[in-house]
Amino acid sequence: MSITEIIDSGANVTLQVTAAQLGEFAKDLIGKTRQELAREVEASNSEIYYTREQTASLLNVNPSTLWNWDKKGFLQPVRVGGLCRYRKTDIQRILTSK
């Protein structure tokens, strides 16, 4: 049984491991972390961002409403320099919620 399997089982045990077993566990953990990070990077690269005007038009609201929503934490833009951009996924969340 590997260290990962023991951890996943939730068993409350004391382990004695060899350096080789610990190294294998570290490699497994690093590999899983790399895969997870790669998925996150891929997802963020495919994200689409809209300007304040585009977002207001899509949501059929006044641009000042976006400012109010930002202050209330309802729809917060991503700020790059002095520019505000809104994530397509956040806009879709609002459009699909009631």
Contact at 8 Å (CB) between 57 and 36?
no
Higher-confidence residue of 47 and 52: namely 52
Residue 67 has pLDDT above 90, yes or no: yes
Higher pLDDT, 3 or 48: 48
Which residue did the predictor score with more confidence, 46 or 27?
27
Please state the domain extents for the chain: 3-45, 49-96
Q: Phi/psi class of residue 11: alpha, beta or left (left: φ > 0; alpha: ψ in -120 to 50)? A: beta
On whether the pTM is more than 0.75, the answer is: no
Place of tokens 């998925």: 39
pLDDT band at 98 (very low <50, low <70, confident <90, very high): low
Fold of 49-96: Multidrug-efflux Transporter Regulator; Chain: A; Domain 2 (1.10.1660)
